[in-house]
Amino acid sequence: SETAHHEFERARWRQAPRRSTCGSPASRFRDGNRPPLRSRHIFLELPTLERERTLFLVKPDAVQRGLAGEIIKRLESRGLKLVGLKLMQVTRPIAEKHYAEHKGKPFFEGLVQFITSAPVVAAVLEGTNAIEIVRATNGLTNPLKAAPGTIRADFGLEMGRNLVHASDSPTSAAREIKIFFKPSELVDWTRDSDRWIYE
């Protein structure tokens, strides 16, 4: 039944080990040891990958250029699930908190001016290795160095107008999601296409 299926999916999520545990040598830890046995998935040598949430921003340049839909579409098409989404004006306190790690750098003031200059579209995306996947989809910080096919290469030219933001680690993701979304703004929902995206 539908409920049983949801229960199964939830249990699967809870059981998922904390890191990728494919049977291939590449998935072993750097010291060559196998990851500790943490679930029956490892025993069966099936790949079980980590599902994560990440904060994503369509920055003011992309919103002004009418690219928000196109950009969100790329992430949705990739298989990432939206669990939070809104258009918002970033205030200076939010900007300074979000970019706290860059305080004192020469580009900090320009960055805060830029991110508060027009609305952003903020999203929380969920999926297998979402943090790395979204960073890879964005491309390198400097559009000049970003690989063709990435958002920053396909739509941008300069570092200070690089269209998108994404969390760079699980710690950043947890911190940044809290800055942009109240818990009540995040939606837990079951997506019927999941079984065609996750193995």
Catalytic residue positions? 165
Q: At CA 194, angle to CA 49 and CA 151, rounded to 5? A: 75
Contacts of 37 (CB under 8 A, 6+ apart): 43
Closest residue to ligand IDP: CB criterion: 141
Report the residue number, 80 or 111, with the smaller CB distance to ligand IDP.
Answer: 111
| Shortest distance (Å) from residue 99 CB to ligand IDP | 7
* Sheet order of strands, 51-58 included: 81-88, 120-128, 51-58, 164-166
Query: How far is it, in rounded angstroms, from Cα 32 to Cα 37?
Result: 15
Residue 107 contacts ligand IDP per CB under 6 A: yes
**Segment (H or E) for 125:** strand 120-128
Q: How many residues bind ligand IDP (CB under 6 A)?
A: 8
Neighbours of 101 (CB within 10 A): 11
By CB under 6 A, name the one of 21, 116, 137, 162 that touches ligand IDP: 162
Cβ proximity of 89 and 122 under 8 Å: no
Compose the 110-149 pattern: x for residues touching ligand IDP by CB under 6 A, - for all others: -x-----------------------------x--------
Instruction: Quote the CA–CA distance of 120 and 71 in Å, as a whole number.
Output: 12
Q: Is 153 in the site for ligand IDP (CB under 6 A)?
A: no
Nearer to ligand IDP (CB atom), residue 159 or residue 186 = 159
Which is nearer to ligand IDP, 83 or 111 (by Cβ)? 111
Q: Which is nearer to ligand IDP, 41 or 98 (CB)?
A: 98
- Site for ligand IDP (CB under 6 A): which residue of 16, 118, 136, 159? 159
- Residue 56's CB is within 10 A of a number of other CB atoms, namely 31
165 binds ligand IDP (CB under 6 A): yes
Contact set with ligand IDP (CB under 6 A) = 107, 111, 141, 159-160, 162, 165, 168
